[in-house]
Amino acid sequence: MDESKQQKTPVNFRFAIPFFVILTVLTVCSFIIPLRPTRSQSEKRNLAEFPEFSVESLLSGSYFDDISLWFSDTFPGRENWIELSGAVSELHGYSEISIQGNLPISDQIPVIPTAPSTEPTENTETTGETEPAESEHTKPTLPDITIEEVEPPTEDVEVWGGVNAGEDAQIMYANQTIQIGDTVFNYCAFHQYGAEMYAQTTNYALAALEGTGARLASMPAPTAIGIMVEKEYQAKLHCAPQDDIINYMFSCMDEDVVKVDLYSALVEHNDEYIYYRTDHHWSSLGAYYAYEALCEAFGYEAAPLSSFEEWDQGVYEGSLYYSAARTSKLKVDNVYAYIPQGDIEMVICRDGRSGFDWPLLTDMTNSGNNTKYMTFLAGDHALCIITNNSIPDAPNCVIIKDSYGNPVAPYLTQNYHKVYVIDYRKYTVMNLRSFVEQYEIDDVIMLNNLNAAQHVPTCESLKHLVK
């Protein structure tokens, strides 16, 4: 027996030594920073960076947590491994429900008072005012927006187009996704502080517009899970009911704010293709129903969908695609744009002051499958100025938006002569009142998706703009 063991030992070492050598080499190579990816084109975001060392982070343990995040986020061949994982999952039998990340706990939605509050609720976490300050806005001495004769950028549109909307979602709600069958959803929780802060910011905007004659509409946009999944099912997944969140926000807004109920407008169409399956945005069809609801709230006649020419941009793999279990159950998307009628021009002002001409809808049919949402306004920019020369006597509007507003803006051209599109994350030229006065704005529209609206940095950026 002992002789047998002695004979087998060299054979085992003969296989074991090369194995451990290969494993060691692979481990060493995996830590070589230049060999690791720095950006995910599919997820439209920069990957985690190797953390800077500090004694404080070492003692707290965060330094090693950050190294672990960097290691997993930038592993060589990461996206190929994810594809392989999906295939293996399917072989073993994929569950109909897959949850990624630690989902946040929702606050309890308060009972809505019998009469809407006309003043924002004080919150002990804030350090500033608890009600809109008196209007002290002054018109800045800035030049009018000018159009420069510049050559369009030659780089990939994803690069020059600015921060992609999917990147924001990754930063704010990374890995907090729920996959149900063929669709991936962002989780939606209720955050009372954020919801009240958003309503407070809306009240600030209304106060800023006093005396200008401009109307203010607030239209918080539901996310897909609140519309496409039955409420009973949402409760089992611990998702907050989005109609209740929106109604609570509205109850905290001044009665003079025009409140656009997008939840009711969209839920009637939840058997249609109004949200993407692999992206956190609504589709251009969902955006149309939002436009229709806005027109009804303002007393305009919405242009019928049949008056727009449909333009198929092709296959789309959205911002949530790489959070999904990519099995045969997952269905990729198609982006359809709807071309409005009229002699329409658009100017992109990346710095908010000067800019260049660009098509309202960009042809992305030959671009990568993960860039198709940039069909609308060519992505996110500080300011876009859209002019419908066919209706010179129509009113003007400004829409203050996140990326949910991009597919809505083309529809607005059917009712407005000029549509000014401000991305609050980028625009820093002038405050709201000055903008409204200088560009003779009739209607102000605030449009943010419900996750972003409850995000405190969103509210801080908006407050800086409107006050």
In this model, does residue 406 exceed pLDDT 60? Answer: yes
Share of the chain above pLDDT 70, in %: 67
- Compute the distance between CA of residue 414 and CA of residue 340 in angstroms, rounded to an integer: 7
The pair phi, psi for residue 147, each rounded to 5°, is -105, 120
Quick check: helix, strand or coil at residue 146?
strand
Quick check: helix, strand or coil at residue 226?
helix
In this model, does residue 85 exceed pLDDT 90? Answer: no
What is the residue-wise DSSP string for 89-106? HHHT---SEEEES-PPPP
User: What is the reported pLDDT for 353?
Assistant: 83
Higher pLDDT, residue 174 or 430: 430
* Closest alpha carbon to 427 in 348, 360, 314: 348
For helices 242-251 and 192-208, give the axis angle rounded to 10 degrees. Answer: 40
In this model, does residue 117 exceed pLDDT 50? Answer: no
In this model, does residue 409 exceed pLDDT 90? Answer: yes
At residue 364's C-alpha, the angle toward residues 362 and 368, to 5°, is 145
At residue 360's C-alpha, the angle toward residues 154 and 385, to 5°, is 100
The pair phi, psi for residue 280, each rounded to 5°, is -85, 0
Confidence of residue 65 (pLDDT cuts 50, 70, 90): low
- For 277, 309, 405, 460, the CA distances from 178, given in Å and listed in that order, are 11, 34, 24, 28
User: What is the reported pLDDT for 70?
Assistant: 66
In this model, does residue 53 exceed pLDDT 90? Answer: no
What is the residue-wise DSSP string for 28-56? HHHT-GGGS--EETTTTEEPPPPPPP-HH
- Find the mean pLDDT for residues 438-457: 95
Pick the most confident of 35-44, 164-173, 366-375.
Answer: 366-375
Is pTM beyond 0.75? Reply is: no
Confidence of residue 152 (pLDDT cuts 50, 70, 90): very low
Higher pLDDT, residue 63 or 394: 394
In this model, does residue 368 exceed pLDDT 60? Answer: yes
Kindly report, residue by residue over 237-258, the tens digit of the pLDDT.
Answer: 888 999 999 999 999 999 999 9
User: What is the reported pLDDT for 28?
Assistant: 63
- Structure-token pair, residue 76: 């060589």
Q: What is the chain's mean pLDDT, rounded?
A: 79
Least confident among 14-23, 201-210, 419-428, 437-446: 14-23
Pick the most confident of 63-67, 308-312, 349-353.
Answer: 308-312
β-pairing, 418-423 vs 383-388, is antiparallel
The answer for 314, left when phi > 0, alpha when psi is -120 to 50, beta otherwise, is left
